[in-house]
């Protein structure tokens, strides 16, 4: 969408240019968690995989509401990093504060994703 700091290329590839510090943020429109690895690459070279994706929309309904706050509350103090919204390595009240900033936000147009089979993943590492 217009205003997003990234471009969607080929349907499910998200491309973003790094800033002066060499980092790139991917504020992808979507919700819920991620049960599979998300690959990160630069110029076709795999840099690593992200094991979790955190979103204020904890239930993937595309609306941040009281149900999401209840789900996140259940994760506080635990090890489920899909609740670590401020990326400090902990799931705590700071993450609830981040979710509170997004209460009422809705996402009409999600960023498309593409599933990867185990065979495709093995092929990458051969």
User: Tens place of pLDDT for every residue, the chain, 126 residues?
Assistant: 556 666 666 555 667 777 788 777 666 656 666 656 677 777 677 777 776 778 898 888 888 999 999 999 999 998 888 888 888 888 999 999 999 999 998 877 665 555 555 454 444 444
Superfamily for domain range 31-112:
Dockerin domain (1.10.1330.10)
Structural domain boundaries in the chain: 31-112
Query: Considering the entire predicted model, what is its pTM?
Result: 0.61
Sign of the torsion angle spanned by Cα atoms 63, 65, 70, 76: positive
**CA pair distance 64, 101, nearest whole angstrom:** 10
Comparing CA positions, the residue from 63, 126, 48 lying closest to residue 99 is 63
């Amino acid at each position: 969408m217009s205003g997003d700091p990234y471009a969607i290329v080929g349907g499910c590839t998200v491309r973003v240019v790094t800033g002066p510090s060499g980092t790139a943020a991917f504020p992808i429109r979507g919700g819920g968690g991620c049960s599979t690895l998300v690959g990160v690459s630069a110029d076709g070279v795999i840099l690593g995989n992200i094991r979790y994706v955190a979103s204020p929309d904890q239930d993937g309904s595309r609306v941040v509401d009281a149900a999401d706050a209840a789900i996140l509350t259940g994760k506080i103090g635990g090890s489920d990093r899909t609740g670590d919204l401020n990326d400090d390595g902990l799931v705590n009240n700071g993450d609830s504060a981040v979710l509170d900033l997004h209460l009422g936000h809705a996402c009409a147009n999600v960023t498309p994703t593409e599933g990867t089979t185990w065979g495709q993943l093995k092929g990458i590492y051969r």
